[in-house]
């Protein structure tokens, strides 16, 4: 939203009021910004016309390097009240085609008293991701490679979300195995973990609140349901959740916050910056593998709700 407002100020002398933000080179929707913001979804034909009039050119993108913290923590053990695992990731993306990127990077360990993984410099998650906007309200995200949370394999997400409506739903499937990088080489196990999830979400537009009910089969053949309460603020999200599965019941919280300073160093073709946001989730119960899952880049629902009409309209009202 900040980017749209800044661009409007720059182009105000040219009377430009229509903006089409891109994600991995794929147009999301059309926004008209006058006294208030209006969203128009893009049809399949409009997307095809955009692709024809704006051919993909990877040279338009800077070679971005992002600094991202990776942090896990447990509380409550008598022997050691706080157990933590902290890494710093230097990440980048290589744009291969419209919507298709290779995520790669290097992981620098800082401290680890949470598990027995060595403090060795190693590759960060490396995976391909194809983002597709099919029409006005249907989106796909397909990923393959080495994901976060020590899982490798394949992941597919589908979401039906009209960015002007309050209801949405989605499906996610993944086939993965365990991996890690020891001091020398790569250790991995067979692809034997099947994850199948579905969800439905309702948005309360006046408060930027999303209620989401999801369920299915998580990792380790754990089956159950999860309820999320998510509140969006300006560039910040705070959420609470409760989960009940075969392995037990638990709850927790999560948040997403921007990381300053943003741009650190920038040249004509290369840029070093902090990552756009830091997402963290804390689960109260540990060790029972309750509703565990891996992370394969952005979750579609978290990505798309940042472009929802009601959220952006509320942000415009705050600015005005």
Structure tokens belonging to residue 271:
């840029």
Specify the pLDDT at position 53.
Answer: 92
The whole model's pTM is what? 0.92
Listed in sequence order, the DSSP H helices in the chain are 2-10, 44-53, 300-304, 309-319
Specify the pLDDT at position 75.
Answer: 74
287 pLDDT above the threshold of 80? no
Q: What's the whole-number average pLDDT of the chain?
A: 90
284 pLDDT above the threshold of 90? no
Mean pLDDT over residues 281-293, rounded?
87
197 contacts 228 by C-beta, under 8 angstroms: no
Of residues 3 and 40, more confidence is placed in: 40
7 pLDDT above the threshold of 60? no
Question: At what angle are helices 309-319 and 2-10 packed, to 10 degrees?
Answer: 60
264 pLDDT above the threshold of 60? yes
Find residue 242's DSSP bridge partners. Answer: 227, 251
Query: Which residues are within 8 A (CB) of 154 and not within 5 positions of it... i.e. 6 or more apart?
Result: 143, 144, 174, 175, 176, 191
Mean pLDDT over residues 171-196, rounded?
94
Mean pLDDT over residues 197-220, rounded?
97
Specify the pLDDT at position 6.
Answer: 55
Structure tokens belonging to residue 123:
């590759």
Mean pLDDT over residues 30-35, rounded?
84
Q: CA geometry: angle at 73 spanning 107 and 78, to 5°?
A: 140
Of residues 7 and 192, more confidence is placed in: 192
**Domains present along the chain, CATH in parentheses:** 2-53 (no CATH), 58-319 (2.40.160)
255 contacts 236 by C-beta, under 8 angstroms: yes
Give which of 105, 131, 72, 63 is closest to 278, Cα–Cα: 72
5 pLDDT above the threshold of 80? no
Specify the pLDDT at position 10.
Answer: 46
pLDDT band, residue 14 (cuts 50/70/90): low
Mean pLDDT over residues 58-83, rounded?
82
């Amino acid at each position: 939203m900040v980017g749209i407002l800044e661009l409007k100020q720059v182009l105000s002398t040219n009377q430009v009021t229509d903006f089409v933000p891109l994600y991995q080179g794929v147009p999301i929707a059309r926004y008209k910004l006058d006294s208030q913001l209006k969203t128009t979804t893009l049809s399949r034909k409009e997307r095809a016309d955009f692709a024809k009039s704006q051919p993909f050119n990877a040279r338009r993108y800077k070679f971005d390097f992002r600094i991202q913290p990776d942090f896990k923590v447990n509380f409550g053990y008598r022997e050691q009240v706080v157990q933590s695992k902290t890494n710093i990731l230097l990440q980048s993306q290589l744009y291969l085609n419209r919507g298709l990127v290779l995520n790669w990077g290097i992981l620098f360990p800082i401290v680890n008293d949470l598990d027995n993984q060595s403090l060795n410099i190693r590759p960060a998650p490396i995976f391909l991701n194809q983002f597709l906007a099919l029409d006005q309200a249907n989106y796909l995200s397909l990923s393959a490679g080495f994901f976060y949370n020590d899982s490798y394999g394949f992941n597919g997400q589908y979401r039906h979300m009209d960015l002007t409506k309050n209801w949405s739903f989605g499906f996610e499937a993944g086939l993965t195995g365990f991996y890690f990088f020891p001091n020398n080489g790569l250790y991995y196990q067979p692809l034997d973990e099947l994850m199948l999830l579905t969800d439905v979400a309702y948005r309360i537009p006046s408060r930027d609140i999303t209620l989401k009910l999801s369920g299915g089969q998580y990792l380790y053949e754990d089956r159950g349901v999860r309820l999320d309460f998510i509140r969006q603020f300006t560039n910040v999200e705070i959420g609470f959740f409760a989960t009940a599965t075969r392995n037990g019941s638990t709850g927790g919280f999560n948040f997403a916050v921007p990381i300053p300073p943003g741009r650190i160093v920038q040249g004509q073709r290369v840029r070093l910056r902090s990552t756009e946001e830091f997402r963290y989730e804390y689960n109260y119960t540990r060790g029972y593998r309750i509703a565990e899952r891996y992370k394969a880049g952005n979750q579609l629902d978290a990505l798309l709700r940042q472009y929802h009409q009601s959220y952006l309209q509320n942000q415009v009202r705050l600015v005005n």
